[in-house]
Amino acid sequence: MIGQGGDAEATGIIGARSELRRNRRCSLCSVTLTRMWCPGCLGNRAAGLYRPAMLLSLLIGIAAPILSFESRTLSDRTKAVISAPDGYPATWKEQVHAVISRDAADADFNRMMVRHAERLARDYYSGEDGTEKDNFDTRDTAGSLDVYENVSAASPDIISAHAGAGYYEAGMAHPNNDASNFFIWSRRMHRLLAQKDVFAREPDAALRRKAFAAFDNQEGVDSNAVKDGIPLTWDHVSIGPDGISWTFGPYELGGYLSGGRTMIGWAQLKPYLRRDLPFAIRAIRAVCLKTGNTRRLDRCALRMSSRS
């Protein structure tokens, strides 16, 4: 049996709990909750059965289209060659993959990526000076060619994509990159974006030094190549939800092991960017689609707002 003091204590505890329930805030819209349901989000906060963010995503997903990408195999073939160094198979293998959007409105983007993958293969066989007449049928060297593409981020406004070609000729010390190209495609303007579409002014020494401070392979670069910071050129750019990245391959900033990546966040980039950006930053989402030499395909379906 609880005495009078116990009743008062119990009443105080119940009152404190009731006050706590009344003063809870919705995790999504920060509205003070005075009932079980958040009037703004329709989230059952008391029972915890429906988190507002999950319910909101479900409601948006009903009306929003799914933007996704897939790999298209343009070539996957192997042939025997006359000879190979000891320990290597006497074969030449060619794989060419293009990244494709499943959205019919991106047909022009798809055509561009297919043509680019085919061109990277032709360029490899043409040699450094473009005069060689080699191709898959005439190739007599053991090894492999792998043309690959990927999408790193996308939104209703843009697609951030990359294409590259790697090769290995039997007897080499290591595989090599033959090409590496980055694309920022405008899904609204149906064209590639240029640096002037995004930057109001050129990246200066201060921004280049920030980029070097964030570079993930500082020990591998040639100090002479980065004495004024990382060269922030548009042909190395990827755009993502957290900022803009610049990626460099082997030999671009020094020796074979000099490749790496740097990323500068949107807040630090703000003084350099146009006010009328051709994309909404908040709508950009990461995509985990990779093709080619990864030997696997990850598909990330993204629910996007409908394009106007």
Give the domain CATH number at 125.
3.30.565.40
Domain boundary residue, one of 44, 62, 80:
62
- What is the pLDDT averaged over residues 129-135? 87
Confidence of residue 190 (pLDDT cuts 50, 70, 90): very high
Contacts of 13 by beta carbon, 8 Å cutoff, 6+ apart: none
In a domain, 79, yes or no: yes
298 and 213: one domain?
Answer: no
86 and 136: one domain?
Answer: yes
Domain boundary residue, one of 62, 92, 107:
62
For 295: left if phi > 0, alpha if psi spans -120 to 50, otherwise beta; the answer is left
Whether the per-residue pLDDT at 143 is higher than 60: the answer is yes
Confidence of residue 78 (pLDDT cuts 50, 70, 90): very high
For residues 50 and 222, which has the higher predicted lDDT (pLDDT)? 222
The DSSP secondary-structure symbol of 304 reads -
81 and 178: one domain?
Answer: yes
- What is the pLDDT averaged over residues 52-56? 45
pLDDT of res. 304: 36
Measure the CA dihedral 160/270/232/291, to 10°. Answer: -20
78 and 150: one domain?
Answer: yes
Query: Phi and psi dihedrals of 297, rounded to 5?
Result: -130, 115
In a domain, 103, yes or no: yes
Whether the per-residue pLDDT at 65 is higher than 60: the answer is no
155 and 294: one domain?
Answer: yes
The DSSP secondary-structure symbol of 37 reads B
Compute CA distances 38 → 33, 42, 53, 57, 107, whole Å: 6, 5, 12, 16, 42
245 and 171: one domain?
Answer: no
Q: Is 152 helix (H, G, I), strand (E, B) or coil?
A: strand
Domain containing 264: what range? 194-277
- What is the pLDDT averaged over residues 106-127? 96
Q: Are 43 and 52 in contact (CB under 8 A)?
A: yes
Contacts of 199 by beta carbon, 8 Å cutoff, 6+ apart: 272, 273, 274
pLDDT of res. 250: 87
For residues 96 and 299, which has the higher predicted lDDT (pLDDT)? 96
- Cβ-based neighbour number of residue 303 at 10 Å: 16
Domain boundary residue, one of 42, 62, 82:
62
What pLDDT, in 10s, does the model give residues 238-280? Answer: 999 999 999 998 888 888 888 899 999 999 999 999 999 999 9
39 and 113: one domain?
Answer: no
183 and 265: one domain?
Answer: no
159 and 298: one domain?
Answer: yes
For residues 40 and 99, which has the higher predicted lDDT (pLDDT)? 99
Q: Is 68 helix (H, G, I), strand (E, B) or coil?
A: coil
For residues 192 and 5, which has the higher predicted lDDT (pLDDT)? 192
260 and 171: one domain?
Answer: no
pLDDT mean across residues, the chain:
80
In a domain, 282, yes or no: no
Number of compact structural domains in the chain: 3
The kind and range of the H/E element at 109 are helix 107-126
Q: Helix, strand, coil shares of the chain as percentages rounded to 5?
A: 30, 30, 40
80 and 173: one domain?
Answer: yes
Whether the per-residue pLDDT at 31 is higher than 70: the answer is no
45 and 120: one domain?
Answer: no
- What is the pLDDT averaged over residues 48-66? 43
pLDDT of res. 66: 52
Whether the per-residue pLDDT at 43 is higher than 50: the answer is no
CATH number, position 215: 3.90.640.20
- What is the pLDDT averaged over residues 65-69? 70
pLDDT of res. 288: 61
pLDDT of res. 24: 53
The kind and range of the H/E element at 99 are strand 91-101
